[in-house]
Each structure stands twice: as structure tokens, then as C-alpha cells.
């Protein structure tokens, strides 16, 4: 058996909200004394997602229209067994990988983009603004907006805009409008450029620009691709599907791994299992794989910080490297974020989730092995999880343990070939 599939009718009907089951009370969002960050939320987010952001209801129904689009884009996604890799590693462990790369835009991000575009449309707005780093989120939101009949404006981190020209093309195919950030289309962008005309940009700055536009346009909302509770919620269809898939072979996971940028693919794949761990029904290890160059959980502080650089978002209690942190331009652009989803951060702080760092060259090294054995080329982001999965399988070879290792395969790397090219030519920095 190489893959475990589900039928369309198995597409989850509810999202799982971990806020109902957290081991400690999650810290509330807050704002600065002179700031309006909390009051601004209803101006930039739909009623639907704001309600979910603060909800403590355990199961939240997925609107029929959203579930319909989930099926249209190919959900449920298959769970593959990496038999080639197992044999190569000579491990008694079973390695599974959940194929979020099979979404039309190549990553898990469409799962929340569709929901967010749906709720925005419900409120009667005409467009969504957002930021994108590597481009996966901008791509997903551009397609979701197209499917829901909205316009989409994307601020793309300038260094990625230059490194990944084809991402821009994909967004434009879906009619997304793409502006390199920092830009002179916003007050904040102008300020950044005045101080440093050749600024490479960062996710934090691009978020500030996108929020500024949404605040000044009644017909626009802002949309975030990770970090916030409602994004984690929408992604839980991944973990619910994995559960059904493992049930089919009477298996439970012993180790689950996801790479972390803002935390959403890790949260989505693991939260339904963390529920069982917290209730004492499952013994499983949850590992967050982060880049050594942007080590948010392992090196960051657990404290209140802004989600963006300029301070337009509420203060969020999370692991953070500081809201003005400019990470080095590693190829895993999707992992270059200074903060971490508050629910993931809380669970890491409570030691339910553990974090490990991975170096960029090791990522490309193990991705090449994975591609040669399994065929699929992992996204550089995904490669962080693949690397940890390989490490865990090698441990099992040494101990003889027959663990079930589940990697959330967050995306493919077919639009990240520049990084692969640099790697193959030995030009990649660590
Ligand atoms: C965006 C992205 C990530 C990181 O974001 P999370 O919110 O942490 O999931 C990881 N992998 C891929 C392929 C991505 O596109």
C-alpha cells in the first residue's frame, strides 16, 4: 500500500477549535495605550473570521459553499507512505506524508484562503488585501478571491518578488494584483523607503502595508495566511483527514512533524491529535521544524509583540524574535516570520509541542534524496519537516522501534527551482 485515499464525501464538515481544549487559558489580545489595534479589527476582518478568532466552541461547522470548493480543488488530499525512503534509510519506522502539495496552488494555504474569501464576500466587501513572502499565500488568496468573486491585492516581500518572478505570474493568472513591498503606495511603505531606498522588505512590513490599505478602504478587508486562531482552525481539516486515513489501517501516529513559519500547517495537521494527547487518549510526539536562520520558538522570547512591523495588529502573546526582526533571505521564504501562532506558541511553552531547527543546506540535501526516492520535490519550507522525519527514522533504525512517523507535506518546490539551482551549484549558504 502506497497511498491512503478518502472519498469526496469524507471531506470534513467541521473545523476543530483547540481553544476549547487548551491546557491553560490563552492570553487575550491587547493593544498599546495610544493605539486602536483592537478597535480596528472589525474594519479589516469579516464578521465570520472575527467570531472564530475568539470562539471557544470546540467544533465549528464548515459552510456548505466552502466545503463544496474544498471538494472542487481536490480534497481530501491523499496520505502517502514513503516506502522508498524507508528502504533507503533501512528503518523499521513507517513514514507517512500528507499531500498538501496536491492543491492547485501547491500548498496547504488554499484551505484557509477559501474560507476567508467566503466570509469576506458574505459581508459584501469587494476586495481582499494581503502580504506574501515566498508567494504561496498570495497565490492561494488570488485563486480563492477569483473563485469567490473578489479582487485581490498582494504586497509581496521585495526580495522574494525578485527571487521568484514566476510566483508573480501565477498570481496574475488568477487576476491578483502584485506590488513589491516596501512600496510607495502606502504611507508606511514610503516611510521605510525614505530611510532605506534599497530595503529588501519583510513579511512584517508587507503586512503593515496591506493593513493600511484595508483600513483606508471600506470595500476592502485584510487577510492573513497564518498566525491567527481562525487560520489554524481552517487548517484542521488536514489533521481530521489524516486521522480518518490512519484509522483505515488501524494506525495511530507516534511522531508528527510540520515545518513552522507562522504555524498553520503544523497546527492544522496536529491539533486534532493534540486534542487526543491532552485527553490522555494518544501518546504522540509533536515536532515543529524551524529554520536555523529564523528560530522563532527555539531562540525567540514568549511575550507580547505585534504581528507586523509598524504596530497595526493587536499585541499577541507568542514566541517572537521582535517585530522589527529582518530575517536573512533564505530560500524557505514561507518560514521567514518573526512570530508564531499564539496557540502553537502556548502549546510549545507548555511542552506539548517541541521545536527543532534545521539548516538550509541540510534541507536541500534531504529534499534531493526525498525527490529521488519518492518522486515529489518538496518545497524548501516542507524540507525542514522532511529532514526531521529522516532524523527520526534513523533513530528508529538504531533503537529498532517501529514508529509511525507522519510528516505534513505542506507544499511542492516546483516554483522554488532557483534555490535548488543554487544548491546544485554549491552556491547555497547555510
Ligand atoms: C507558507 C508555507 C509554510 C509556512 O507557513 P505555516 O503557516 O507555518 O504553515 C510552510 N510550507 C509551505 C509550503 C508554505 O507555503
Distance 87 CA to ligand 1 centre (A): 28
3-state helix, strand, coil in the chain (%, to 5): 45, 20, 35
User: 265 CB less than 6 Å from ligand 1?
Assistant: yes
Average pLDDT by stretches of 10, the chain with 430 residues: 96 98 95 90 97 97 98 98 98 98 98 98 98 94 98 95 90 98 97 96 91 97 96 98 98 98 97 98 98 94 92 93 83 82 98 97 97 98 98 98 98 93 90
C-alpha 142/C-alpha 168 separation (Å) is 11
Please, where are the H alpha helices in 82-228?
83-89, 110-122, 136-148, 158-163, 165-173, 187-195, 203-215
Distance 308 CA to ligand 1 centre (A): 17
Distance 53 CA to ligand 1 centre (A): 20
Task: Specify the ligand 1 atom closest to the Cα of 225.
Answer: 7
User: 413 CB less than 6 Å from ligand 1?
Assistant: no
User: 130 CB less than 6 Å from ligand 1?
Assistant: no
User: 334 CB less than 6 Å from ligand 1?
Assistant: yes
The predicted model scores a pTM of: 0.97
* Cα 24–Cα 27–Cα 33 angle in degrees, nearest 5: 165
Task: Specify the ligand 1 atom closest to the Cα of 100.
Answer: 13
Residue with the smallest CA separation from ligand 1 atom 13 is: 411
Residue with the smallest CA separation from ligand 1 atom 4 is: 261
pLDDT of res. 133: 87
Mutate which of 381, 413, 414 for ligand 1? The one with the most ligand atoms within 8 Å of its CB, which is: 381
Pairing of strands 14-16, 59-61: antiparallel
For 13-81, the DSSP string reads SEEE-GGGT-SSPPPPPB--TT--HHHHHHHHS-HHHHHHHH---SEEEPPHHHHHHHHHTTPSPPEEE
Task: Specify the ligand 1 atom closest to the Cα of 411.
Answer: 13
Strand partners, 353: 286
Instruction: Tell which phi-psi region holds residue 208, choosing left (phi > 0), alpha (psi between -120 and 50) or beta.
Output: alpha
User: 235 CB less than 6 Å from ligand 1?
Assistant: no
Tell me the domains of the chain and their CATH numbers.
25-66+108-227 (3.40.50.1100), 74-106+230-424 (3.40.50.1100)
User: 111 CB less than 6 Å from ligand 1?
Assistant: no
User: 160 CB less than 6 Å from ligand 1?
Assistant: no
Contact between 258 and 284 (Cβ < 8 Å): no
- Annotate 261-314 with three-state secondary structure: CCCHHHHHHHHHHHHHHHCCCCCCEEEEEEECCCCHHHHCEEEEEECCCCCCCC
Residue with the smallest CA separation from ligand 1 atom 15 is: 136
Instruction: Name the one residue in this structure whose C-alpha cell is 521605510.
Output: 192
User: 416 CB less than 6 Å from ligand 1?
Assistant: no
C-alpha 177/C-alpha 367 separation (Å) is 32
Q: How many residues does the chain have?
A: 430
Identify the H or E element spanning 107: none
Half-sphere exposure of residue 158: CA atoms within 13 angstroms, side-chain side: 16
Residue with the smallest CA separation from ligand 1 atom 5 is: 261
Mutate which of 109, 157, 343, 385 for ligand 1? The one with the most ligand atoms within 8 Å of its CB, which is: 109
* Cα 198–Cα 203–Cα 209 angle in degrees, nearest 5: 80
Cα 283 to Cα 208, 250, 352, 386: the distances in Å are: 41, 15, 11, 21
Contact between 141 and 130 (Cβ < 8 Å): yes
Amino acid at each position: 500500500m502506497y497511498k491512503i485515499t478518502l472519498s469526496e464525501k469524507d471531506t470534513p464538515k467541521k473545523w476543530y477549535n483547540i481553544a476549547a481544549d487548551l491546557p491553560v487559558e490563552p492570553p487575550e489580545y491587547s493593544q498599546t495605550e495610544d493605539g486602536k489595534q483592537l478597535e480596528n479589527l472589525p474594519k479589516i476582518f469579516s464578521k465570520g473570521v472575527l467570531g472564530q478568532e475568539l470562539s471557544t466552541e470546540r467544533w465549528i461547522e464548515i459552510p456548505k459553499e466552502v466545503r463544496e470548493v474544498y471538494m472542487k480543488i481536490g480534497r481530501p488530499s491523499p496520505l502517502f507512505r514513503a516506502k522508498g525512503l524507508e528502504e533507503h534509510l533501512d528503518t523499521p519506522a513507517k513514514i507517512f506524508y500528507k499531500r498538501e502539495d496536491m492543491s492547485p496552488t501547491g500548498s496547504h494555504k488554499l484551505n484557509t484562503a477559501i474560507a476567508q474569501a467566503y466570509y469576506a464576500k458574505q459581508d459584501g466587501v469587494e476586495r481582499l488585501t494581503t502580504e506574501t513572502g515566498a508567494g504561496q499565500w498570495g497565490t492561494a488568496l488570488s485563486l480563492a478571491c477569483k473563485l469567490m468573486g473578489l479582487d485581490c491585492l498582494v504586497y509581496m516581500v521585495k526580495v522574494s518578488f525578485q527571487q521568484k518572478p514566476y510566483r508573480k505570474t501565477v498570481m496574475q493568472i488568477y487576476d491578483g494584483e502584485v506590488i513589491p513591498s516596501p512600496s510607495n503606495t502606502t504611507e508606511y511603505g514610503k516611510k521605510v523607503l525614505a530611510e532605506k531606498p534599497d530595503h529588501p522588505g519583510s513579511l512584517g512590513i508587507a503586512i503593515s502595508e496591506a493593513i493600511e490599505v484595508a483600513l483606508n478602504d471600506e470595500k476592502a478587508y485584510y487577510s492573513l495566511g497564518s498566525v491567527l486562531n481562525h487560520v489554524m482552525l481552517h487548517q484542521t481539516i488536514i489533521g481530521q483527514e489524516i486521522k480518518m486515513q490512519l484509522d483505515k489501517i488501524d494506525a495511530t501516529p507516534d511522531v508528527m512533524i510540520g515545518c513552522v513559519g507562522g504555524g498553520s500547517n503544523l497546527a492544522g495537521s496536529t491539533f486534532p491529535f493534540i486534542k487526543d494527547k491532552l485527553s490522555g487518549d494518544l501518546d504522540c510526539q509533536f515536532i515543529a521544524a524551524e529554520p536555523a536562520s529564523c528560530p522563532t520558538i527555539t531562540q525567540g522570547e514568549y511575550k507580547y509583540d505585534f504581528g507586523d512591523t509598524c504596530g497595526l495588529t493587536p499585541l499577541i502573546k507568542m514566541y517572537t524574535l521582535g517585530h522589527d526582526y529582518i530575517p536573512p533571505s533564505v530560500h524557505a521564504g514561507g518560514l521567514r516570520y518573526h512570530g508564531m501562532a499564539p496557540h502553537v506558541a502556548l502549546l510549545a511553552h507548555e511542552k506539548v509541542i517541541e521545536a527543532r531547527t534545521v539548516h538550509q543546506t541540510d534541507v536541500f540535501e534531504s529534499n534531493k534524496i526525498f525527490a529521488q526516492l519518492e518522486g515529489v520535490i518538496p518545497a524548501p519550507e516542507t524540507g525542514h519537516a522532511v529532514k526531521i522525519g529522516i532524523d527520526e527514522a534513523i533513530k528508529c533504525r538504531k533503537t529498532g522501534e517501529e514508529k509511525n512517523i507522519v510528516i505534513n507535506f505542506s507544499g511542492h518546490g516546483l516554483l522554488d527551482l532557483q534555490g535548488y539551482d543554487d544548491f546544485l551549484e554549491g552556491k547555497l549558504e547555510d
